[in-house]
Amino acid sequence: MNLIKKLWNGDVSLAKTFWGLIGVALLVKLISYVLLRVVLGYQNELVFAIIWFVLIGIVMSFLAVSMWRSSYKYSGPLKWFYVSRICTIMVVGNELVFMQDFWFKLGQ
């Protein structure tokens, strides 16, 4: 619990936050997708979509805030500050596009 608080506050180093959270995000997405598909199958697309988006939304929001705050406290070369901020914006944008695309396909 202390690690989660440190991440949220940006008190973990930028390198650990960046690489650690990318790994965590990928694992959470992969495991949750597989588990939801096993439990719900392909016949409950709307339920799957709602659970998936809430879960991923919470995880990605936490990761984005953690990365943003960690980069703000970073005292190394300025380029890594900008790289981490750009990556955070790109990841959040990618997730929003993915969610919008999935909802669009779900509605057809």
pLDDT digits (tens, 9 = 90+) for 46-76: 777 778 788 888 888 888 899 999 999 999 8
Residue 50 resides in a domain: yes
Residue 4 resides in a domain: no
CB 63 within 8 A of CB 21: yes
- Residue in the structure block whose two tokens are 């608080």: 5
Residue 29 resides in a domain: yes
Give tens-digit pLDDT for 15-31.
888 887 778 888 888 88
Q: Which tokens go with 83?
A: 């790289």
Residue 2 resides in a domain: no
Q: How far apart are CA 18 and CA 32, in angstroms?
A: 21
Distance of CA 74 to the CA centre of its chain: 20
Residue 72 resides in a domain: yes
The sign one gets for the Cα dihedral 23, 28, 34, 37 is negative
For residue 32, with 0-12 CB atoms within 10 Å meaning exposed, 13-18 middle and 19 or more buried, which class applies? middle
Structural domain boundaries, residue 80: 10-107
Residue 56 resides in a domain: yes
Residue 5 resides in a domain: no
- Structure letter (DSSP) for residue 41: T
Residue 93 resides in a domain: yes
The structural domain count of the chain equals 1
What's the whole-model pTM score?
0.76
- Structure letter (DSSP) for residue 70: H
Please determine, for residue 108, whether its predicted confidence score (pLDDT) is greater than 70.
Answer: no
Q: Which pLDDT does position 86 carry in this prediction?
A: 92
